Amino acid sequence: MSNNGRLAVPDKRAVTDHDIIDVLAERWSPRAFADRPVEPEKLRQLFEAARWAASSYNEQPWRYLVATKDDPEAYDRLLNCLGTFNQQWAQTAPVLMLGFYKTTFSRNGKPNRCAPHDLGAASAQLTAQATALDLYVHQMAGIEMDTIRDTYDVPDDFEPMAALAVGYLGDPDVLPEKLAKREQAERTRRPLDETVFGDDWGEAAPLAR
């Protein structure tokens, strides 16, 4: 271990089989964030990027709640909506968000099957924009649904989906040892030939072989 026994800030750029743009290759989900606020204009850019995502019938089913450490009471209220494991590390992030989707179409009240998908697209755009601004986003599925509904009086036709921790990259040493080591872990993904099928389900498309 170099760096006087401290863990190095990891290089986690994706090792890709085919070239992809930097804002996607350099994205990863850290648990250690720097103790540095995020400029409000940059947060607006993140939400603006989400805003322009595609959605079924342009419903834009996504909504976000956001809290920053500038308002400690609001921040703690949002932190308390995360699972206890996630609270351990997410409290290093200067900004926390919750992502929601509207379960029905506003134009006719019918169920919107694509709403969680479209929130995922919006949050991915938010994250790409973050990466372009040297910010990092770590999304979490481990959230407390009942606490969220009670805390924010969420309408019945909205569903909480994920939390997002946002900030500048921090030193892994701020984390408990076990989590600090995880920051160094290799990033892995299933190969394309198990993901991209051609004429038959489960059979790699010619271009993915």
Smallest gap from residue 110 Cβ to a copy of itself (A): 12
Smallest gap from residue 190 Cβ to a copy of itself (A): 5
Smallest gap from residue 149 Cβ to a copy of itself (A): 10
Distances (CA, A) of 76 to 65, 95, 97, 151: 13, 11, 12, 11
Q: Which residue from 136, 139, 123, 121 is spatially nearest to 26, judged by alpha carbons?
A: 136
- Residue number, 104 or 117, with CB nearest to a copy of itself: 117
- Residue number, 120 or 172, with CB nearest to a copy of itself: 120
- Residue number, 6 or 71, with CB nearest to a copy of itself: 71
DSSP summary character for residue 185 = P
Smallest gap from residue 180 Cβ to a copy of itself (A): 19
Q: Which residue from 42, 93, 89 is spatially nearest to 67, judged by alpha carbons?
A: 93
Give the span between the Cα atoms of 165 and 127, in whole angstroms.
11
- Residue number, 6 or 150, with CB nearest to a copy of itself: 150
Are 119 and 159 spatial neighbours (Cβ–Cβ below 8 Å)? no
- Residue number, 6 or 13, with CB nearest to a copy of itself: 13
Smallest gap from residue 93 Cβ to a copy of itself (A): 15
Give the span between the Cα atoms of 22 and 109, in whole angstroms.
40
